[in-house]
């Protein structure tokens, strides 16, 4: 009994009691789970990269489409503006070629040929006396000046390009306009104490004209006009006058 007691006490005192064994967790399922997660992640990343790839191409195609639309819109506007300018140019050309404008230009030209030295002074004297000739000249002056003022406004508002105005009315007609109309308009401005119209300065600037350019006189065509409108016996002829190259 003592031996058994000694043995039990020795066991209790010298050797620790064995603890129950901890169960080992198997590692194979975890490895399989990690591998599956990696495959899912790689697949998801691949899908994201593919989506981003197609999205980038979609953005590029959209940008190219927008650029093409802008270019098309710009060309359409340019074509529309060019067509509008051509139509407007045709209108002012037709108005300048009308019989009324031709009569006005001829009226001013004949009076100029008769009174080159005192062109504006004689006009003002006739205007003061309210003569029929003065009103005929005034109507002619207003018509021609109004046409050039209209062209000036079209050019100011960018409705007519320089390339059209360089062709018509052109430099030569602009010089004739300044020679025939400007003296009468200035004389009327002084007579009525009014401001001078700005169309003359605008025409000078547009065609780069100086006083030397407008100082040149027209060749006299009045005698040619009379000769072409009268026969040898003084009778009237129906043959029209031959137009001078400098005539409006």
Average pLDDT over every residue of 26-35: 51
Average pLDDT over every residue of 203-212: 94
pLDDT digits (tens, 9 = 90+) for 73-110: 777 777 777 788 889 999 999 999 999 999 999 999 99
Confidence of residue 144 (pLDDT cuts 50, 70, 90): very high
pLDDT digits (tens, 9 = 90+) for 35-61: 566 665 666 666 666 666 667 777 788
Distance CA 126, CA 141 (A): 14
Dihedral of CA atoms 146, 150, 153, 158 in degrees, nearest 10, equals -160
Given this model, what pLDDT does residue 46 score? 66
Given this model, what pLDDT does residue 244 score? 45
Residue 240 scores a pLDDT above 70: no
Average pLDDT over every residue of 129-134: 95
Question: What's the helix, strand, coil split of the chain in %, to 5?
Answer: 75, 0, 25
Residue 118 scores a pLDDT above 80: yes
Residue 167 scores a pLDDT above 60: yes
Boundaries of every domain in the chain: 41-81, 98-223
Q: What is the mean pLDDT of the chain?
A: 77
Which residues, 6+ apart, have CB-to-CB distance to 110 below 8 Å?
222, 225
Q: 9-18, 94-103, 182-191: lowest mean pLDDT where? A: 9-18
Given this model, what pLDDT does residue 40 score? 58
- pTM here is 0.63
Given this model, what pLDDT does residue 170 score? 94
């Amino acid at each position: 009994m003592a031996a058994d007691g000694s043995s039990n006490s020795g066991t209790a005192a010298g050797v620790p009691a064995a603890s129950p064994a901890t169960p080992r967790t198997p590692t194979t399922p975890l490895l399989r789970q990690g591998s599956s997660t990696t495959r899912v992640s790689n697949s998801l990343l691949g899908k994201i990269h593919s989506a981003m790839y197609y999205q980038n191409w979609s953005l590029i195609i959209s940008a190219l489409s927008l650029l093409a639309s802008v270019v098309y819109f710009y060309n359409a506007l340019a074509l529309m503006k060019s067509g509008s300018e051509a139509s407007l140019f045709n209108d002012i050309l037709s108005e300048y070629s009308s019989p009324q404008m031709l009569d006005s230009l001829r009226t001013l030209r004949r009076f100029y040929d008769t009174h080159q030295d005192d062109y504006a002074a004689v006009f003002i004297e006739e205007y003061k006396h309210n003569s029929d000739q003065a009103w005929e000249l005034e109507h002619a002056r207003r018509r021609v000046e109004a046409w050039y003022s209209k062209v000036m406004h079209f050019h100011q508002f960018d409705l007519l390009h320089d390339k059209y105005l360089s062709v018509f009315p052109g430099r030569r007609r602009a010089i004739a306009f300044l020679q025939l109309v400007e003296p009468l308009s200035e004389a009327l401005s002084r007579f009525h104490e009014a401001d001078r119209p700005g169309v003359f300065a605008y025409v000078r600037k547009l065609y780069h004209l100086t006083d030397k350019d407008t100082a040149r006189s027209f060749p006299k065509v009045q005698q040619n006009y009379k000769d072409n409108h009268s026969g040898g016996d003084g009778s009237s002829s129906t043959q029209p006058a031959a137009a001078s190259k400098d005539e409006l």
